[in-house]
């Protein structure tokens, strides 16, 4: 996209969305949102399996906490691009965004008997930051509320999992998925990785940092409306057992998932819930002391 086109789209956000739609894998549609600096996000779909990587949306059920398929059906569905999304409420002319919509099909209502509208706004900020805002509305006409759990199942690419630390979750309580979701309290300074991890941290701060020592890069997650944070790395044995996961890929990934799991969300008809996640990166050279991870967490 040329910079002129990017600018004119940005200043008239209600006109044609600044998205490119291409043929993706298996001829399926892929949506690319690109900003003036060349940052881009894309999504594609390879039914009937969910796509591993990126940021799958877990809705209306996280993991196997209910009768639906693992992580709910939203990540396995076709979403549509809203051709005329509502504008941003405030001055945000330099942001590129696309609204994706999901409404239940007849098949979906057989397994989850509710009517909803899910609007996912994907926004690229001027510095390449990625914001995801989910708005879920109960559109039931039978007067019934519904309850759901939710997660942004974000896969982060890291140089070497054994060199990574997560800051912001230390001393918190968590449910250990590897031990029947028993509740424990995290000990120690920061989270580091030397074996399989699958934990749901509870009542977490709005900011979490993932420090990649080797790449000298820190990912910062800011979140709103999502009190929990799931941390997952399958490690070697589970990686081998997963058909869509390379045997050694666990060394170069980490999922840190902004989530609402412990206290499910209930919406009455007409009510809307909002859950927001913002991802940014800051260059860091933690090993040389140039960046104090606590400042990343405490800074604005």
Closest-CA residue to 257 (of 212, 223, 281): 223
What residues have CB less than 8 Å from 218, skipping those under 6 apart? 209, 210, 211, 212, 281, 282, 283, 284, 286, 291, 293, 296
Binding residue count for ligand BG6, defined by CB under 6 A: 9
Instruction: Name the residue nearer to ligand BG6 (CB basis): 144 or 263.
Output: 263
Give yes or no: 214 in active site.
no
User: Measured from the CB of residue 151, what is the shortest distance to ligand BG6 in angstroms?
Assistant: 6
- Of 63-71, 189-197, 208-216, 280-288, which part binds ligand BG6 (CB under 6 A)? 63-71
- Residue 57 as a binder of ligand BG6 (CB under 6 A): the answer is no
With 0-12 / 13-18 / 19 or more C-beta atoms within 10 angstroms meaning exposed / middle / buried, residue 229 is: buried
Exactly one of 153, 167, 213, 262 is catalytic; which is it? 153
Q: Considering only residues 231-290, where is the footprint of ligand BG6 by CB under 6 A?
A: 232, 257
- Residue 21 as a binder of ligand BG6 (CB under 6 A): the answer is no
Inter-residue contact 68 to 62 (CB < 8 Å): no
Inter-residue contact 85 to 121 (CB < 8 Å): yes
- Residue 59 as a binder of ligand BG6 (CB under 6 A): the answer is no
- Residue 230 as a binder of ligand BG6 (CB under 6 A): the answer is yes
User: Measured from the CB of residue 47, what is the shortest distance to ligand BG6 in angstroms?
Assistant: 15
Inter-residue contact 76 to 58 (CB < 8 Å): no
Q: Which of 63, 138, 233, 277 binds ligand BG6 (CB under 6 A)?
A: 63
- Residue 228 as a binder of ligand BG6 (CB under 6 A): the answer is no
Report helix, strand or coil for 284: coil
- Residue 153 as a binder of ligand BG6 (CB under 6 A): the answer is yes
CB atoms within 10 A of CB 214: 12
Calculate ∠ Cα 86-87-90, nearest 5°.
Answer: 140
Give yes or no: 167 in active site.
no
User: Measured from the CB of residue 61, what is the shortest distance to ligand BG6 in angstroms?
Assistant: 11
Exactly one of 114, 167, 213, 257 is catalytic; which is it? 257
What residues have CB less than 8 Å from 142, skipping those under 6 apart? none
Catalytic residue numbers read: 153, 257
Residues that bind ligand BG6 (CB under 6 A): 63, 70-71, 153, 177, 198, 230, 232, 257
């Amino acid at each position: 996209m040329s910079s002129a086109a990017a600018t004119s789209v940005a200043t008239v956000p209600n006109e044609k969305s600044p998205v490119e739609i291409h043929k993706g894998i298996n001829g399926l549609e892929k949506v690319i949102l690109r900003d003036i600096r060349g940052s881009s996000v894309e999504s594609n779909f390879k039914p009937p399996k969910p796509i591993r990587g990126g940021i799958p949306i877990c809705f209306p059920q996280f993991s196997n906490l209910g009768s639906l398929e693992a992580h709910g059906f939203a990540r396995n569905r076709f979403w549509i691009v809203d051709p005329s999304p509502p504008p941003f409420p405030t001055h945000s002319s330099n942001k590129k965004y696309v609204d994706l919509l999901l409404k239940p099909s007849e098949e979906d209502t057989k397994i989850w008997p509710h009517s909803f509208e899910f609007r996912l706004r994907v926004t690229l900020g001027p510095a390449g930051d990625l914001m995801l805002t989910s708005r879920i509305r109960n559109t039931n006409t039978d007067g019934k509320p519904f309850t759901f759990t939710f997660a942004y199942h974000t896969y982060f690419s890291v140089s070497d999992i054994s060199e990574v630390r997560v800051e912001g979750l230390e001393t918190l309580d968590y449910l250990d998925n590897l031990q029947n979701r028993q509740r424990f309290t995290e000990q120690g300074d920061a989270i580091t990785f030397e074996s399989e991890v699958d934990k749901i941290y509870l009542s977490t701060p709005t900011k979490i940092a993932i420090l990649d020592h080797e790449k000298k890069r820190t990912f910062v997650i800011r979140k709103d409306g999502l009190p929990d944070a799931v941390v997952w790395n399958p490690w070697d044995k589970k990686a081998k057992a997963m058909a869509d996961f390379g045997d050694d890929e666990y060394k170069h990934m980490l999922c840190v998932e902004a989530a609402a799991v412990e206290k499910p969300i209930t919406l009455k008809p007409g009510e809307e819930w909002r859950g927001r996640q913002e991802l940014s990166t800051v260059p860091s050279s933690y090993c040389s002391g140039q960046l104090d991870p606590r400042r990343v967490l405490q800074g604005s």
